[in-house]
Amino acid sequence: MPKKGTISSVQMAAMLYFAIMATAILGPPALMYTFAQQDMWISPIWASFIGAFTLLLVFRLSREYPGQTYVQICITVCGPVLGRVIAGVYVLFYLHVNSIILREFVELVVSKFLYNTPEMVIVAGMMLLCAFAVRGGIEVLGRISQIVLPVILSLLFLLLFFVIPEMNLTFMLPVFEDGLLPSLKGAIPPATWFSEFFLLTFLLPFVRDGKAGKWSAISLGAVMLSMVIVNIFVISLFGPVSGSFGYPVMTFIEYISISNFLEHLEAFVMMIWVVGAFVKISVFFYGVVLGTAQTFKLKDYRPIVLPLAGLHIVFNYWSIKNASMLVYYLQKLDPFYLVTFQTLLPLVMLIVVKARKNWRKQG
């Protein structure tokens, strides 16, 4: 594999879409309902502004330092020592976030499908796959997401089609019952996911066809639209009880009955979803691996892939103790944690960069 792989901007968009939607269809609909009730489908629209802002930050930063990831920018801007410390914090941050994503994945699989399988097998299998993919390089990741995206989307929409007769759109009314506030509050949980668009910083240096801007915007729009659609389905199927299921999407897929013959399709959907989760974890993992390599100026990141995969497995047990803690984490901490690291701190970084530039011009 050539050291510097190239991905097309379409592949980049597909990777970003997976990196966000794969887990965004699990918990967030229920979380959004608790804040926004029947206005929950509006919340992703508000939250997408965070995504747009994050994307803008990444592009601005990469315009200042073309071809550099955020980790490299940190080192360039803050000097080799402080910059490395910041970069290291970011690597740890992504390691932590990714291990929690891994936890979410395992939690769903174990609680819904394989009650008696040792978690270790599921976790290790997943991390091993991700390690293979990341070893293969960014090109392999890009190709996988591009090939898998149309398949997954068409299958999911086919399934959604079968839920349509069960929908009751009156559950969506009244819109803005208590004004804008509930839907704005509901935008807090999805903001977490939208801030994950910051991952673009690890992909952008490999996009060479000059259409990254357009396609990342399309990706953002697709994520927003998907969330809105999912939320419309959830609210119109479950109405006032939307908030009481851990995985509302899985629950309504369970409710599908295709001509009273094909029922209980959730295992099938899980199969599709695992592919999405795989891409998501891989993209985050790629960020961790690339970040580590760049922090320590390694020539080749491949030797550190497997050790870091092992670290993920350990972190995934350390960071979250049980399912309730996971929900608490996702609901209460995650928004601030992720938005801070992925949107606010980069904003500070951009301001620093700009200020310095001006200062230099004047001085």
126 binds another protein (CB under 8 A): yes
239 makes contact with another protein (CB under 8 A): yes
For residues 82 and 291, what is the distance between their CA atoms, to the nearest angstrom?
A: 15
- In terms of Cα–Cα distance, which of 202, 137, 143, 201 is closest to 3? 137
Q: Considering only CA atoms, which of 241, 235, 247, 203 is closest in space to residue 12?
A: 203
Binding mask 146-175 for another protein (x = CB under 8 A): xxx---------------------x--xx-
DSSP assignment of 35-93 equals HHGGGTTTHHHHHHHHHHHHHHHHHHHHHHSTT--HHHHHHHHHTHHHHHHHHHHHHHH
- In the complex with another protein, the residue whose CB is nearer, 67 or 303, is 303
CB of 166 to another protein, least distance (A): 8
Count of positions on this chain that bind another protein (CB under 8 A): 61
For residues 173 to 202, the per-residue mask of contacts with another protein, x marking binding by CB under 8 A and - elsewhere, is: xx--x-------------------------
The answer to whether residues 303 and 52 touch, using CB atoms and an 8 Å cutoff, is: no
Min CB(283)–another protein separation in Å: 14
Binding span for another protein by CB under 8 A among 21-29, 60-68, 117-125, 215-223: 117-125
CA distance 193 to 190: 5
Residue numbers 8-37 binding another protein by CB under 8 A = 8, 10-11
Q: Which is nearer to another protein, 95 or 152 (CB)?
A: 152
Q: Is 168 left (phi over 0), alpha (psi -120 to 50) or beta?
A: beta
117 forms part of the interface with another protein (CB under 8 A): yes
Q: Which segments of 159-280 are extended strands (E)?
A: 257-258, 262-263
Lookup: tokens for 221: 């729009």
Give Cα separations from 5 to 19, 204, 207, 246 (angstroms). 19, 12, 9, 39
Alpha-carbon span 163 to 169, nearest angstrom = 12
310 binds another protein (CB under 8 A): no
Stretch that binds another protein, among 72-80, 81-89, 220-228, 236-244 (CB under 8 A): 236-244
End-to-end CA, the chain: 45
Among 92, 114, 217, 344, binds another protein (CB under 8 A): 114
DSSP string, 126-162: HHHHHHHHHHH-HHHHHHHHHHHHHHHHHHHHHHHHH
Residue 314 in the binding site for another protein (CB under 8 A): no
Check residue 258 and report its DSSP letter.
E
- Rule CB under 8 A: choose which of 34, 76, 257, 319 binds another protein: 257
Figure out which of the listed residues 80, 125, 307, 310 binds another protein, where binding follows CB under 8 A: 125
Compute the least distance from the CB of residue 114 to another protein, in Å.
6
Residue closer to another protein, measured from CB, 45 or 306 = 306
Q: Which of residues 46-105 bind another protein (CB under 8 A)?
A: none
Q: Which is nearer to another protein, 3 or 361 (CB)?
A: 3
Q: By CB under 8 A, what part of segment 262-291 binds another protein?
A: 262-265, 267-268, 270-271, 274-275, 278
Which residues lie near another protein (CB under 8 A)? 1, 8, 10-11, 109, 111-118, 121-122, 125-126, 128-129, 132-133, 135-137, 139-140, 142-144, 146-148, 170, 173-174, 177, 237-241, 244-245, 251, 254-255, 257, 260-265, 267-268, 270-271, 274-275, 278, 302
